Amino acid sequence: MDSKFRLNTPFKKFFILVLIFILSRAFLVKYSPSNIISFSLLNQAGILLASFLNSYLIYLIVVKKISEKYAIWASFIYLICPWVFYYELLGSVYLVYLSIFMCLYLLFLSKNRSSLLMVVLITFLLFQFKSKGYFYSEVGLVNAVNVFRGEAQLEGFGLLSKIIENRYLYYSLSLVNKTLAVIDPLAYFSPQARELPFINTPPIWLGLLPIFLIGFWQILNKHKDIFYLTIGAIPGIMFIKIYDFEKLILLFPFILLSIIFGIKKLDQQKPLFRMLIYTCTFLAILQFLVFVPDYIFKEPLRFQLLK
């Protein structure tokens, strides 16, 4: 009896994932602002398929790096996060890039080729820099530097102006500012940096923030190899906008693993500490219950006002 249950467990988990995915996406598409979905049915199906694949890939990563016991939680959190489903509705190709990113991570991780993994992932991310909009390609910044340098030279600061007023210094400062902004947890767990102005929902439910911080500390101390996934932030850091959550979604696997490590750590503690899991889950559910009526009734109105 016990062997049959264990044999069927993976199928049951997969069935649960499929059910959650179908029901949640049917709800989101039905009540989404009508004009937000502006791509063909074929493209929409491809993006949704890639997103469901991502939920399975994160499941496999957690099985390999943490435990199968917590893998279903990673997939579940992925599927219910606003960060994911809003970019599904927008038809973001970065959900496909996320699939490739995690496939590469799994492929090379399984063969313990850490150095090669780093090279391949960075090459994959740098390939995207052909896109317009990265801060090193901003013409306005170059023109501003030339103006400032000219004004400094007129004031008699000839050599000094070349040292202080140069685009490489500005690029470096911009890179530092963007990196500091991107590593701020509140950017992902609160709506302070929302990219879509008609949305009041954070990319990830705020209730999961304490668990994320506990898991991040675990990774920092005992699982530094997980930090390879942080290079997924490179496209988002290099973009002109302070927060480009479409590109930063490549950082989502690292954030998810941090949350799962936090759940595992708390699950291994005394009952008093394990209560934090239930408390954070309750807060996330409460936030979701607030989100549902806002998504159905208020968000379409805000979307229409912005048109």
pLDDT number for residue 137: 52
- Long-range Cβ pairs for the range 179-183 (8 Å, 24+): 179/237, 181/242, 181/243, 182/233, 182/236, 182/237, 182/243, 182/248, 182/251, 183/233
**Cα separation, 250 vs 240, whole angstroms:** 17
pLDDT number for residue 215: 92
Q: Under 8 Å CB-to-CB from 254, ≥6 apart: which residues? A: 226, 227, 229, 230, 232
**Cα separation, 252 vs 246, whole angstroms:** 11
pLDDT number for residue 4: 43
Q: Under 8 Å CB-to-CB from 256, ≥6 apart: which residues? A: 58, 62, 74, 77, 78
pLDDT number for residue 257: 94
The string of pLDDT tens digits covering residues 85-134 is 888 888 888 898 899 888 888 877 766 665 556 666 666 565 555 555 55
CB 31 within 8 A of CB 296: yes
Name the nearest CA neighbour of 185 among 159, 199, 171, 204: 204
Q: Which residues of the chain have pLDDT under 50?
A: 1-8
Range of the domain at 224: 2-306
Which residue intervals of 93-232 are DSSP H helices? 94-109, 114-126, 139-154, 158-164, 167-182, 186-189, 209-222
Cα separation of the two ends of the chain? 59
Name the nearest CA neighbour of 98 among 83, 111, 109: 83
Please give the tally of structural domains in the chain.
1
The letter for the amino acid at 65 is: K
Per-residue DSSP letter, 79: H
The pTM of the full predicted model, rounded to 2 decimals, is: 0.81
